[in-house]
């Protein structure tokens, strides 16, 4: 977890590689559908471009199908999901059904202005439609309203691991591995 631009996607790859599990990014799956022009992509694009969340029903169905894939049978890392209380409930149901359990909920803590800077920089290299300053501010508001309450939910369950997301990418990765008590392979 973490606000837009916290580095979820960036760090997810390292963690997933370490554990040999897939990193399942709802944002990446939506973007792949947008670029392929699928019906899901067309629907998701309307929300993403405005900085809004894609409706729970669509997102939940997509995650349910993805974690049913064989490569997720022995575990997976979810990047950017759940983002709403309704998604938390849905995920509980999904993993109950598959016999998985959540080991940890990692939250990257970052400064609001720093992430705006990062995303504006990304806009220049990747040209994502949702990386304009207005949309970034809207995404921050949506995060605050709909996702930040989830931090308390997972804290109460004893699963929350908060890590400082500021600094070099390598430094943040090291902090995450330390917090998860993981010894990276050299
Ligand atoms: P995401 O793809 O999850 O987008 P994000 O929050 O902007 O990305 P992230 O935090 O992963 O940032 P990144 O590592 O890329 O979601 C996009 C949209 O999809 C949402 O707004 C929503 O519409 C929709 N969506 C996704 N999931 C949903 C859900 N569950 N429910 C409903 N809707 C959903 O890093 C950002 C930039 O910073 C990169 O350029 C990176 O290189 C840089 N960076 C990373 N770490 C850095 C560091 N330590 N120092 C400097 N730069 C760094």
Are 108 and 1 contacting, i.e. CB atoms less than 8 angstroms apart?
A: yes
**Residue 182 contacts by C-beta under 8 Å, 6 or more apart in sequence?**
18
Confidence of residue 129 (pLDDT cuts 50, 70, 90): confident
Residue 186 covered by a domain? no
Specify the length of the chain in residues.
186
Residue 186 pLDDT greater than 80, yes or no: no
Cα–Cα distance between 119 and 85 in angstroms, integer?
26
Share of the chain above pLDDT 70, in %: 98
Task: Identify the CATH number of the domain in which residue 141 sits.
Answer: 3.40.50.300
Residue 124 covered by a domain? yes
139 lines ligand 1 (CB under 6 A): yes
pLDDT (0 to 100) of residue 116: 92
Q: How many domains does the chain have?
A: 1
| Model-wide pTM > 0.75 | yes
Residue 86 covered by a domain? yes
Beta strand 77-79 with 105-109: parallel, antiparallel or unpaired?
Answer: unpaired
Atom 49 of ligand 1: nearest residue by CA position = 169
Gap from CA of 26 to ligand 1 centroid (Å): 10
Are 8 and 1 contacting, i.e. CB atoms less than 8 angstroms apart?
A: yes
User: Catalytic residue at 61?
Assistant: no
Cα–Cα distance between 102 and 76 in angstroms, integer?
10
């Amino acid at each position: 977890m973490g606000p837009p631009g916290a580095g979820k996607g960036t760090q997810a790859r390292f963690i997933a590689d370490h554990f040999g599990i897939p990193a399942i990014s709802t944002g990446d799956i939506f973007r792949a559908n947008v670029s392929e022009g699928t019906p899901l992509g067309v629907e998701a694009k309307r929300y993403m471009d405005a900085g809004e969340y894609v409706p729970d029903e669509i997102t939940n169905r997509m995650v349910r199908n993805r974690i049913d894939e064989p490569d997720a049978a022995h575990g997976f890392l979810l990047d950017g999901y759940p983002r709403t209380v309704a998604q938390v409930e849905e995920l509980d149901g999904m993993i109950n059904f598959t016999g998985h359990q959540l080991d940890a909920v990692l939250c990257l803590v970052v400064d609001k202005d720093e992430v705006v800077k990062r995303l504006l920089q990304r806009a220049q290299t990747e040209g994502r439609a949702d990386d304009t300053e207005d949309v970034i501010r809207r995404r921050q508001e949506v995060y605050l309203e709909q996702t930040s309450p989830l931090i308390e939910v997972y804290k109460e369950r004893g699963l929350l691991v908060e890590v400082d997301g500021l600094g070099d990418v390598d430094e943040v990765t090291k902090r995450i591995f330390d917090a998860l008590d993981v010894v990276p392979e050299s």
